[in-house]
Amino acid sequence: MIDIKLLRENPERLKKAISLKKFDCDLDAILDFDAKRRAIVSAAEEARAAQNAANLEMSKLPKGSDEFKAKIAELKEVSAKVKALEK
């Protein structure tokens, strides 16, 4: 198995090694997939942080106030986004 860190850092070396073995592998597709996956993981972590921040803000508001209700709606949206990104 090829370490993804090695592939990220030195793709040309691996392409050359693979061609010497007469093996066909689309490393560019793997790198594209890895970049997309990393972007989604980062977005999910940012959304989770936003969810935690909204939850903390909501806990400081008086229950039943308009601001509290608005934070609940915001938290539901952020929660749905987090679930979608984690999926």
User: Which tokens is 29 given?
Assistant: 């597709």
**Model confidence at 35, in pLDDT bands (50, 70, 90)?**
very high
Residue recorded with tokens 């934070």: 71
- Write the pLDDT tens digit of every residue in 6-32: 889 998 998 898 888 888 888 899 999
pTM of the model: 0.69
Mean pLDDT of 31-43: 92
Return the pLDDT at 55.
Answer: 83
68 falls in which pLDDT band (50, 70, 90)? confident
Domain residue ranges in the chain:
26-86
Count CA atoms within 13 Å of residue 7 on its CB side. 16
